[in-house]
A and B are shown apart, each in its own frame.
Chain A
Amino acid sequence: AQSVTQLGSHVSVSEGALVLLRCNYSSSVPPYLFWYVQYPNQGLQLLLKYTSAATLVKGINGFEAEFKKSETSFHLTKPSAHMSDAAEYFCAVSDRGTGFQKLVFGTGTRLLVSP
């Protein structure tokens, strides 16, 4: 069964510092991988997704993630944190398929940004 592990339930950074949120996946075949962000009392918004051979994926709001098959990782980074980045971040995995998409989410990492 697929699963996702997000290391660190909380990550604190200063404004302007590097953001690194960790995600490791378990899957028998290369899956689709996603990062979502959730602001308080909101639904989920897609930041970026990995679905092809391009291992470095760029997303919205300056975020990017690198798919590393050998490490089964898909860590999310941003060079310089903004106060507005404070939110809950979820990594998710799904099988490669033609129509069915069951997203399996990690438990989330809350990003705290201090001035």
Chain B
Amino acid sequence: ETGVTQSPTHLIKTRGQQVTLRCSSQSGHNTVSWYQQALGQGPQFIFQYYREEENGRGNFPPRFSGLQFPNYSSELNVNALELDDSALYLCASRSTGGDTEAFFGQGTRLTVV
């Protein structure tokens, strides 16, 4: 059984650019969530995808968007990057059920300069 993998591991972008982060879910998991973890903070929920549809969103602006594919892998897209978008972005996958364990990837460290 493979775990959750994210790519790339590190990324440097310029303010105003767009970025795409990728996540491969753990085998058998149909739900993917994305979290933003700023330095020294706990992760903040961005959104969740279930069966290719967004079914929950945190307090993030529309320039944060996502996709989930038929194989349950996922992308996080951020447009018009701002300096405050610099953070560790974590992807978590799980099977259906509010009490099931979310398995996290190692994250993508995004730096906006």
Bound together, the chains give a CA A41 to CA B40 distance in angstroms of 13
Cβ-neighbour of A90 out of B43, B45, B103 (below 8 A): B43
State whether A42 touches B106 (Cβ < 8 A).
yes
- A99 proximal to B (CB < 8 A): yes
14 A-B pairs whose Cβ atoms sit less than 8 Å apart in the complex: A36-B104, A43-B90, A44-B104, A45-B104, A96-B99, A99-B96, A100-B55, A101-B98, A102-B48, A103-B35, A103-B45, A105-B43, A106-B42, A107-B42
- A104 proximal to B (CB < 8 A): yes
State whether B102 touches A46 (Cβ < 8 A).
yes
Q: Mark B72-108, 1 if CB is under 8 A from A, else 0.
A: 0000000000000000001010101111111111110
| Closest Cβ–Cβ distance, residue A7 to chain B (whole Å) | 14
Interface size on A, residues (CB 8 A): 27
Q: Mark A71-115, 1 if CB is under 8 A from B, else 0.
A: 000000000000000000010101111111111111110000000
Chain A: CB-nearest residue to B3: A43
Interface residues of B in 33-86 (CB under 8 A from A): 33, 35, 40-45, 48, 50, 55-56, 58
A90 CB contacts on chain B under 8 angstroms: 42-43
State whether A108 touches B41 (Cβ < 8 A).
yes
Give chain B's interface residues, CB within 8 Å of chain A. Answer: 4, 31, 33, 35, 40-45, 48, 50, 55-56, 58, 90, 92, 94, 96-107
Q: Mark A17-60, 1 if CB is under 8 A from B, else 0.
A: 00000000000000010001000011111100101000000000
Give chain A's interface residues, CB within 8 Å of chain B. Answer: 32, 36, 41-46, 49, 51, 90, 92, 94-108
State whether B102 touches A103 (Cβ < 8 A).
yes
Bound together, the chains give a CA A97 to CA B35 distance in angstroms of 20
The answer to whether A101 and B100 touch (CB under 8 A), given A90-B42, A90-B43, A107-B41, is yes
